[in-house]
Structure 1
């Protein structure tokens, strides 16, 4: 048993197989029944078919190599099921599940296994939606071990304890491989031995809606081994999910650190470009006109720090010249020593303040342009108001409310 558990551990650790969907008959699709007249006309052909089929079985008994020859390419574990599917009425997935549950209870008595009364695909979707494990139980009445395995292993108290413990988050879907849906599931899961149980769980590391087989329990095993393998498959799946979450958290942390570093680098570059732009703009400012210029405009600007800038401007000086003086006032003394500074490449400068007159209040936006003389007059006292995001939002709110 220890070797089998070790093999199960290594198998699960190597990776997971996708849990396939299967094509089934729609729930509400009616079963086709030919009209009575056609059924009567085809009765001779039906009798001939039954006679030939009986002869085939007779030849198969007399010459055992014939069935093996015809079924050489089929799954050995499903050959008996394939022969018997012709004797069972084809039903929709939900009705097939209800029949399986009814036949299971008739064969093995009352039990506490919460079989889902849904088709296989719907059970997969429910497990995916509810983030639970799905046990896929496939049995074949053709196999002699089935009845004893159900009685001694699947219905054993220690196995039922694992299945029914709500902390384990287990759903159970069962199927008889003599039915078409369960037969397709067995083929898709490449079942080679019965009875068979697969542990399926959502694996978001594969895709957003992927369901994968994280454990397989095949053949007759003891209740202890069954419960151990079931716990092992769950534990490894949970550990794998936690590891995935840790990897995603680490990746998110690294991405945020990289984004923060990029923001910091961008901010440092912006500051360097702004300093270079101020140096470049300061060296290109027009000289202050002398006292002999009668039409010169005299402006006094108070900064947020309380410091005042006093400067005379030519009467035709653009309003942006006044903004540039305020922006570059710290650079004006060094303008003579900072000649030859080029404009920073790719940098788009925006003034982060506006000039206003206190009483009566008037705003002189730089984007309006025009000369200082036309906008402000022969002189004036102005204030510097920083432009912030909060102020922009307040202005937008006032505009909407008005």
Structure 2
């Protein structure tokens, strides 16, 4: 048996090892067969990447919208909180304004729960409603303050004692202070004697609880007296809280009597300050009045000076204007004298006119009938000015002044029939002066 045959037989033996060359050929064939499968894996990877991009773009828009929605929600919540703060502030302000209703409610409650004098052994006590809560109350309604703020303001401005009562309706003996203190002769007389101001508070309400915390009240009911001190601060000078044992009317009276002098001094001090203020205001008023009068007098003097200056300037302007007009009139008269036609000799086209001047003088002169009646006006004007006999040889005298219109200060009248001669009419066309006539000179003034 040959070696090749032996190998072939070995290859066919079950469980035998293949030849090395044969194994290499098999491996190369397997690698060639795996190349197409590797390219397919790259295609799958690129497909997955493209799919991820599509999914990312697909989910990006909803996430962006969700982000905008959350931002808008936060903005709405923030704005709503600000609005709620404003609303709460309005509600709290409204509650503060409603303190008068709280007072009326407390007064009605105390009136109903207060024991009447007829049912008690102590006849020195009264019913709460007859003292504080009726139209004919023993304590005037002016002494009863609607709120603690009003009480403080009144005590500060009027320098009076302020009586505070804090009520706790949850206590079993809540009416002990009302019946045995507020409704007694001693307390009523003390309030009326010192003209005290009173305020009732309920600690179940915000205002009453705030006042209790301000004065550090720990036991209820509570009665206290406040007043303005020299340091411009309100202080609590007397109090009784929790039990009637802590209340002594004589002690309250002594404290009020002691501090009454302080209030009187403060009132006098305030009156002095007010008097000084009034004096200063009067002095300032007189000073301002004097200053105002001085200013008005100075203004009047300045106005008079300005008027005098303006009048002087106006007079100067008028004088200059008169001088200028006189110069223009003189130039016009000289020019008109040069243009005046000489008296014609006798002839057919000659008008003989007898003129009675304004001074009573009578003049007879002949005029060329072809000229306008203005020639007669010019003759009368030149004769009345006394320049007919003057001689002017300067050539400039024949040039009339610019922008000057001469108005005659008289008119010529034909007496029978009475006719006013117009300067623009031709002499030969007027029967009053042609071929002869009598005329009168009348001044326009």
Report the TM-score range of the alignment, normalised by the length of the smaller protein. 0.3 to 0.5
TM-score by length of 1: 0.43
| Bigger helix share | 2
TM-score by length of 2: 0.39
Larger RCO: Structure 1 or Structure 2 (Cα < 8 Å, ≥ 6 residues apart)? 1
Larger radius of gyration: 2
